[in-house]
Amino acid sequence: MLVVENVTVTYGPFKAVDQASLRVDAGETIGLAGTNGAGKTTLFAAIAGQLPATTGSILFQGRQILGQPTYRRAGQGLCRTFQVPREFGRLTVLENLLVAAQDERQENMLTAWLGRRGMRETVASRTRQADGILDMLGISHVRDLLASQLSGGQKKLLELARVLMQKPSIILLDEPFAGVNPVRIGEMMEIFTRLKAQGIALLIVEHHLQALRSLSSRLYVMDQGKVIAEGDPATVLNSKIVQDAYMGGVI
């Protein structure tokens, strides 16, 4: 599904990502770990199209997507979340989802609110879709609240809900557990397991290593811009090269 080969991202002479390669198969959950500054989020941004890759190849569904803008990658089913959610605080939760939705012609649902003829049925359909997603994520009770009124954990789920409105085949999750309380983390892990059961692939950047160990079928670890280990999560986390990258401590 997603094949990243020898991707490098540079800032002047500095290589933030250095010849990184990884693979995510359909319906697979893959973890991407590393200390702060290892290059994980930069690699995410290159895959999603927010940053240009200096060299390398990114294939999605067998097609080269380097050079494609972010919206086009999302339209093909490659979507991402952000460590800090980017909700529209002055819109309700439902409105946030409708704005995120795309119709069959890839038109933003905002056109419906601006009086586009023939869009009423689409709005009704997307509202039903949004309600189903909110129910699945367990946040239907905040449907009509302003996004600015949500807790940090609820905003993380709203970010995920916005992505799900685009009907992705793979989601890049950037530190989904950051700033989330342990109870909410458990709930989110259950949600990710359900998404996998629906055939949605997940690539998760996360510092919560125990969560990655539980969720991931394979784990990649980055250090100083390079992928230094890949394989079974337990084996990777116990390897000497990864232990050394985490300052010699036991993970």
Check residues 107 and 87 and name the one with the higher pLDDT.
Answer: 87
* CA atoms of 104 and 168, how far apart (whole Å): 14
What are the phi and psi torsion angles at 61 (to 5°)? 55, 35
Tell me, what's the pLDDT at 112? 53
Output the CA–CA distances (angstroms, integers) from residue 192 to 4, 172, 189, 209, in the order listed.
Answer: 22, 12, 5, 15
pLDDT in tens, 98-113: 998 864 344 555 555 5
Give all domains of the chain, ordered by start, each with its CATH number: 2-87+165-245 (3.40.50.300), 95-149 (no CATH)
- Whether the pTM exceeds 0.85: the reply is yes
Instruction: Answer yes or no: is pLDDT of 116 > 60.
Output: no
pLDDT in tens, 13-42: 999 999 999 999 999 999 999 999 999 999
Residue with the two structure tokens 């116990």: 238
Check residues 57 and 100 and name the one with the higher pLDDT.
Answer: 57
104 contacts: CB under 8 Å, gap ≥ 6: none
Give the tokens for residue 131. 């309600």
Evaluate the CA torsion angle 193, 195, 201, 207 in order and state its sign. Answer: negative
Q: From the centroid of its chain, how far is CA 111? A: 26
Tell me, what's the pLDDT at 119? 64
Instruction: Answer yes or no: is pLDDT of 158 > 90.
Output: yes
